[in-house]
Structure 1
Amino acid sequence: MANPYDEAFQKSIEDPNGFWGKAAEDITWYKKWDKVLDDSNPPFYRWFTGGELNTCYNALDVHVENGLGDQAAMIYDSPVTDTIKTYTYSQLRDEVAKFAGALAGLGVTKGDRVICYMPMIPEAVIAMLACARLGAVHSVVFGGFASKELAVRINDAKPKVIVSASCGIEVAKVIKYKPLLDEAINLADYKPEKCVIFQRPMEKASMVADRDLDWAELVAGAKPVDCVPVAATDPLYILYTSGTTGIPKGVVRDNGGHAVALKWTMKNIYNVDKGDTYWAASDVGWVVGHSYIVYGPLLRGCTTILFEGKPVGTPDAGVFWRVIAQHNVRTLFTAPTAFRAIKREDPRAELVKKHDLSNFYALFLAGERLDPDTLKWAEEALQVPVIDHWWQTETGWAIAANCLGIHQFSVKPGSPTKPAPGWNMMVLDTETKEPIKPGDIGALVAKLPLPPGTLPTLWNNDAGFLKAYMDLFPGYYATHDAGFIDQEGYVWVMTRTDDIINVAGHRLSTGGMEEVLADHPDVAECAVLGVDDKLKGQVPVGFIVLKAGVDRAESDIVKEVIQMVRDRIGPVASFKTATVVKRLPKTRSGKILRGTIQKIADNKEWKMPATIDDPAILGEIEEALEGIGLAKSRKE
């Protein structure tokens, strides 16, 4: 007997026009589309061409007009400032309309870019939705990202306005944003016309005359504006993702396909409805924050939680349970790292027992591999379904999931269950590019077209889009993940196939870190790779070979390179360990054997690579790794 999932999946693949056309009826359009799927220029597929809508209207105004104006739209819960503030749909719409008016007064119109460099405060969400209201394109950069990284994004997006705040708060530490922003603008070739700064009480930022404007003063004199209709294919936002060298990858999200897909996922994947409280414990700077703090829950008419805190230390490992109980959260979505941190502080889940979680329905985890140990701990502690699902910045929503709103499958620890409707997943041999049999590991790819809500291209970089995702396996989207699909159709994601490592759910490029290390005057060559870490999933470790004749203390050089990565990429890199080695193991063609070093570091079984230039080097590497607590001297 076919179950509802099989039927939905089959329809989505065989008749995408019918499947997504029906889903699109759930969105309010100013003008209906001419075509659901426009496949006239593959692989540049477009969804709902000819249609016109406004995403902010669908996220806020439509609910107010349908009688939900007094329902909570967003609850800001900030243990770091001891604040809880609720915005109803009417209040949030009014605040957004006013800030949109303020931006319009600065000349921001449809198609202009606005960078948001913000902490986890309501004004971050208000700024994003205000851009959507005007048809402007927001690009949110994770608050506290290093100036150099922000400058690169300023050059690429060319924002008319940058919206920022005086500071962010990391547990008990105030992180000043304004000096980072000023330095980024100083470094950037492109200069924004204006900056709008929200002054937080704990830190007053100094302002640059004729460029910087105070948020409160600007809004006080602004008039609210209505939503501007945009084409379904017009961009809603740009979100930069970790790439290797060169131009950053600005993932583009359109308005039409995005609104249709995200609203559909809220019910079909997460099984939440209007009026339910949904909490994605993430950051607005990451894709999870875009999709599931801001757009998804508000499109569905849910109450979303904006949490400014950490899973531990604000004040303790019970804060998640306090938030769930206090705000009647139905579904929580976070990264496995958060649960590993909680488990480390409260291994017997004693703090769970202090809170009433009777309304809590499901926990969803994504962003990195969910280890079976953490899965089991969460299931036992919470007594609800714990659902692993897999997606990427590029996809905007789940590639594979246990779709609770359609049909709940039994969980296989280590697998994010089955491809979501719309995702025709296959495993290809990396050499022959041919499909391989169930159970065999190869490249995980999605047969084109991708479903709505996924990236149509990269910002001003169609060639980069083709090179990064389309050229490797023609007719397919390359996820750059390796894995297999088993006999029952469950997807298993094994490893990244490139140099992106996953630190606490944040995708970071080891290549980018290597560039920083290589810039040190005493470093001849270097390698950075991700090693297993119980708390964060992976952490980067650096190996540096010094230039001949360098006679400084190695410990000083190590300290300096660690500081360089912190300055240029930011604390988010979690780059705290590096070691000096005589030489790096390489293939005869000069490629560094990163995979082998990684296995030795993780104290896993490894084979001598056939292509190695000098096998003796691996012994030296092993010794160096033991000296920093890895390989055989790992404590686990």
Structure 2
Amino acid sequence: MHSIASLQDYHDQYKKSIDQPEAFWSEIANEFTWRKKWDKVLAWDFNNADVKWFINGKLNITENCLDRHLATRANQTAIIWEPNNPAHEAKHITYKQLFEEVNRTANMLKANGVKKGDRVCIYLPMIPELAYVILACARIGAVHSVVFAGFSAKSVSDRVNDAGCKIVITSDGSYRGDKTINLKGIIDTALESCPDVSRVIVKEYIGKGAAIKEGRDVLWDDEIQKASAQCDAEEMDAEDMLFILYTSGSTGRPKGMVHTCGGYMVYTNYTFRTTFQYQEGQVYWCTADIGWITGHSYILYGPLSAGATTVMFEGVPSWPDWGRFWQAIERHKVNIFYTAPTAIRSLQQAPPEFVKRHDLSSLKVLGSVGEPINEEAWHWYDENIGKGKCPIIDTWWQTETGGFMIAPIANVTKLKPALATLPLPGVQPAVMNESGLEIQGNNIEGRLAIKFPWPSMARTIYGDHQRFKDTYFSTFPGKYFTGDGCKRDDEGYYRITGRVDDIIIVSGHNLGTAEIESAIDEHTAVCETAVVGFPHDIKGQGIYAFVICYDKPREEEKLRSEIKEKVSKIIGPIAKPDKIQFVSGLPKTRSGKIMRRILRKVAEGDTSNLGDTTTLLDPNVVDEIKAGAL
């Protein structure tokens, strides 16, 4: 297996990956099980947003995640499922058991009419069945579309309709700390506006007795009993769709990013093993939810294809107390721990006893994902959790990239707090100026683009290739534009400085401002809204809404609660605004464009220099907004 042993080795392999990308990736891809090898490694045309890897190669990703391990590690634990309640026993699922459960689930899907190419919407809590059904879809060539089980009915129905799903997999409910959430109720509401869904498979999990709609709904436990544990894997082309995963768009409509079988498998496996320097037998834990790309790539496909033991965690970091993560690390002797800066900042505020009472000596490598980690959180993580002995792998990547792009390699790359450091082999970053020219050299700042394809990049937006092209390949023709700003320091290390478009990163999750604005505008009292991000101690960015009402609100607090409730219902609790300021107008140019730059400054509490406001339609509105800032 490919590995990088030293910094010199990294530079040599990086150079090879840039000089001879096809030879480099071909060598790595040869380590996998293919039904038929590819005719050509790569064909690409960024001007038309067109990329293909391992052309005419045939495979099934589950044969690489499951079947090929059976000879050597059938009895090794594949997944450790750590339940919401630590008083309950964790479940250790071996590779052999996982193989059988996935086959059974695949046969159950087939018996319920799922065929190769069908889209399956999955809306489940973090329970083993979520892993089974994702891999089962991949096994029979169905396309999975996992929707995070914190999204509202409206968000679910938008995604079901956009992907054309005919089948939905859900459960009666989920646990979140000491609360239960009625997932089936949310699905029933969502499906009122999804006429094409003909089958819902319901896993009875919390035992509250889900309402079953005759003719449409069936119970998982009844169906699975009829299914055999043997299901041949469907032969897939390397460029066949593996999954659709929705991410926020700046226009308000979510974008269904399409990932394909071959390149995605090769890249997630390679980056998982390389970046964390995964060693045989280690226990690896990524705390993300599988509803996000992090869970797809680095809880399931990357680790399982590498034959790793991966932890799947149902709970939350704060319940029953703030020691929950550290208790689970001790319980499972976790070696590699990968979490989000948001979680780290929350845990930092808890009394230190919660960390001190647990043995964290098994840890070898720490990681961070979702947004750039700030220096204070980096140092706390390093000193308190890693005890100064564990490298912190600060990974920069996106739903669209499928896998890590810029990240240190454990015990190889010299670390700098809050910097994502160097590009991984095969990744060719470019720092662009506003005129669209690449800025050469070091000690520079600009916008981050990528100038050469990598195997796991998204291939299109489902059903809308033009939008894919416009969003990612039109800003800098011939390059993929990430939407992020960055700095490159004197050593060529990258620091990601955050989004430069209308996306807010809340707790590591991308939310489009347009989507939140249109949800707020649904309230009958609201006339117009502008939403911006502002620095937030825990979440990284908070959501600040400037709201114009038809009439001056009599009870502001009541209206604020109603607006938050409305957003929660339309998008999900994650998108609720932290601050809502009622205003009589917004700073607009004469052509009607909202000057978000001014609103961002107000939201950040920095109103000393708002720049030239004389070009605004009504400059007085700025003074009013400044005076009422929260």
TM-score bin, normalised by smaller chain: over 0.9
Query: Does residue 586 of structure 2 align to residue 598 of structure 1?
Result: no
CA contact (8 A) 2:445 2:486 kept: yes
Tell me how far apart the structure 2 counterparts of residues 274 and 38 of structure 1 sit (CA, whole Å).
Answer: 34
CA contact (8 A) 2:601 2:610 kept: no
Tell me how far apart the structure 1 counterparts of residues 595 and 353 of structure 2 sit (CA, whole Å).
Answer: 44
Tell me how far apart the structure 1 counterparts of residues 246 and 316 of structure 2 sit (CA, whole Å).
Answer: 24
Deviation, structure 1 residue 67: 2.0
Task: Decide which of 159, 173, 176 is 1:170's aligned counterpart.
Answer: 176
Look up the equivalent residue of 2:83 and give its one-letter code: S
Query: Does residue 219 of structure 2 align to residue 214 of structure 1?
Result: yes
Query: Does residue 298 of structure 2 align to residue 292 of structure 1?
Result: yes
Tell me how far apart the structure 2 counterparts of residues 80 and 355 of structure 1 sit (CA, whole Å).
Answer: 18
CA contact (8 A) 2:560 2:580 kept: yes
Task: Decide which of 411, 416, 429 is 2:415's aligned counterpart.
Answer: 411
CA contact (8 A) 1:253 1:453 kept: yes
CA contact (8 A) 1:236 1:253 kept: yes
Tell me how far apart the structure 1 counterparts of residues 356 and 350 of structure 2 sit (CA, whole Å).
Answer: 15
CA contact (8 A) 2:269 2:305 kept: yes
Q: Where do 5+ consecutive residues of structure 2 fail to align?
A: 1-5
Shift of the 571–463 alpha-carbon distance from structure 1 to 2, 3 Å rule, reads: same
CA contact (8 A) 1:400 1:420 kept: yes
**Other-structure match for 2:31:** 26
Deviation, structure 1 residue 247: 4.2
Q: Normalization by structure 2: what TM-score?
A: 0.95
**Other-structure match for 2:59:** 53
1:27-79 deviation line (CA, Å, top 9, x unaligned): 11011111111237853111111111111111111111x22000000011013
SS in 2 for 1:3: helix
Query: Does residue 493 of structure 2 align to residue 490 of structure 1?
Result: yes
Query: Does residue 540 of structure 2 align to residue 537 of structure 1?
Result: yes
Tell me how far apart the structure 2 counterparts of residues 302 and 39 of structure 1 sit (CA, whole Å).
Answer: 32
Query: Does residue 569 of structure 2 align to residue 556 of structure 1?
Result: no
What percentage of aligned pairs have identical amino acids?
38
Deviation, structure 1 residue 96: 0.6
CA contact (8 A) 2:503 2:511 kept: yes
Task: Decide which of 380, 387, 396 is 1:377's aligned counterpart.
Answer: 380
Tell me how far apart the structure 2 counterparts of residues 609 and 121 of structure 1 sit (CA, whole Å).
Answer: 52
Moved more, 231-240 or 197-206: 197-206
Q: Where do 5+ consecutive residues of structure 1 fail to align?
A: 629-636
Tell me how far apart the structure 1 counterparts of residues 7 and 245 of structure 2 sit (CA, whole Å).
Answer: 38
Query: Does residue 93 of structure 2 align to residue 87 of structure 1?
Result: yes
**Other-structure match for 1:631:** none
Look up the equivalent residue of 1:535 and give its one-letter code: I
Query: Does residue 524 of structure 2 align to residue 518 of structure 1?
Result: no
Shift of the 589–222 alpha-carbon distance from structure 1 to 2, 3 Å rule, reads: same
Deviation, structure 1 residue 493: 1.1
Tell me how far apart the structure 2 counterparts of residues 104 and 144 of structure 1 sit (CA, whole Å).
Answer: 28
Query: Does residue 574 of structure 2 align to residue 568 of structure 1?
Result: no
Tell me how far apart the structure 1 counterparts of residues 436 and 273 of structure 2 sit (CA, whole Å).
Answer: 39
SS in 2 for 1:149: helix
Deviation, structure 1 residue 458: 1.5
Deviation, structure 1 residue 80: 2.8
1:202-227 deviation line (CA, Å, top 9, x unaligned): 42211110010100000001123121
**Other-structure match for 1:399:** 405
Query: Does residue 256 of structure 2 align to residue 256 of structure 1?
Result: no
SS in 2 for 1:489: coil
CA contact (8 A) 2:59 2:237 kept: yes
1:102-148 deviation line (CA, Å, top 9, x unaligned): 00111212111111001110000101000011011100000131111
CA contact (8 A) 1:75 1:306 kept: yes
**Other-structure match for 2:530:** 527
Query: Does residue 146 of structure 2 align to residue 140 of structure 1?
Result: yes
Shift of the 205–74 alpha-carbon distance from structure 1 to 2, 3 Å rule, reads: same
Tell me how far apart the structure 1 counterparts of residues 98 and 438 of structure 2 sit (CA, whole Å).
Answer: 51
Look up the equivalent residue of 1:5 and give its one-letter code: Y
**Other-structure match for 2:210:** 205
Tell me how far apart the structure 2 counterparts of residues 532 and 203 of structure 1 sit (CA, whole Å).
Answer: 40
Equivalent residues in 2 for 1:175-190, closer than 5 Å: 175-188=181-194, 190=195
Look up the equivalent residue of 1:18 and give its one-letter code: A
Task: Decide which of 316, 324, 329 is 1:324's aligned counterpart.
Answer: 329
**Other-structure match for 2:3:** none
Equivalent residues in 2 for 1:291-310, closer than 5 Å: 291-310=297-316
Tell me how many residue pairs correspond in the alignment: 617
Tell me how far apart the structure 1 counterparts of residues 64 and 553 of structure 2 sit (CA, whole Å).
Answer: 64
Look up the equivalent residue of 1:156 and give its one-letter code: D
Shift of the 116–310 alpha-carbon distance from structure 1 to 2, 3 Å rule, reads: same
Deviation, structure 1 residue 615: 4.0
1:139-181 deviation line (CA, Å, top 9, x unaligned): 0000131111111111111113111111111211110011110
Task: Decide which of 608, 611, 625 is 1:609's aligned counterpart.
Answer: 611
CA contact (8 A) 2:317 2:343 kept: yes
Tell me how far apart the structure 2 counterparts of residues 311 and 624 of structure 1 sit (CA, whole Å).
Answer: 36
Task: Decide which of 352, 361, 366 is 2:364's aligned counterpart.
Answer: 361
CA RMSD between the two structures: 1.8
**Other-structure match for 1:634:** none
Shift of the 246–366 alpha-carbon distance from structure 1 to 2, 3 Å rule, reads: closer
1:244-297 deviation line (CA, Å, top 9, x unaligned): 336421111111001111111122111113322111100010000001111111
CA contact (8 A) 2:202 2:220 kept: yes
**Other-structure match for 2:481:** 478
CA contact (8 A) 1:566 1:575 kept: no
Deviation, structure 1 residue 23: 0.7
Tell me how far apart the structure 2 counterparts of residues 165 and 379 of structure 1 sit (CA, whole Å).
Answer: 38
SS in 2 for 1:401: coil
Task: Decide which of 76, 96, 104 is 2:102's aligned counterpart.
Answer: 96
Tell me how far apart the structure 1 counterparts of residues 317 and 558 of structure 2 sit (CA, whole Å).
Answer: 34
CA contact (8 A) 1:79 1:315 kept: no
Moved more, 154-163 or 569-578: 569-578
Look up the equivalent residue of 2:328 and give its one-letter code: V
Q: Normalization by structure 1: what TM-score?
A: 0.94
Tell me how far apart the structure 2 counterparts of residues 69 and 475 of structure 1 sit (CA, whole Å).
Answer: 46
CA contact (8 A) 2:105 2:136 kept: yes
Look up the equivalent residue of 1:187 and give its one-letter code: S
Deviation, structure 1 residue 557: 2.6
Query: Which structure has the higher relative contact order (CA within 8 Å, separation 6+)?
Result: 2
Task: Decide which of 484, 509, 512 is 1:509's aligned counterpart.
Answer: 512
Tell me how far apart the structure 2 counterparts of residues 218 and 229 of structure 1 sit (CA, whole Å).
Answer: 25
CA contact (8 A) 1:336 1:369 kept: yes
**Other-structure match for 1:446:** 450
Tell me how far apart the structure 1 counterparts of residues 84 and 223 of structure 2 sit (CA, whole Å).
Answer: 28
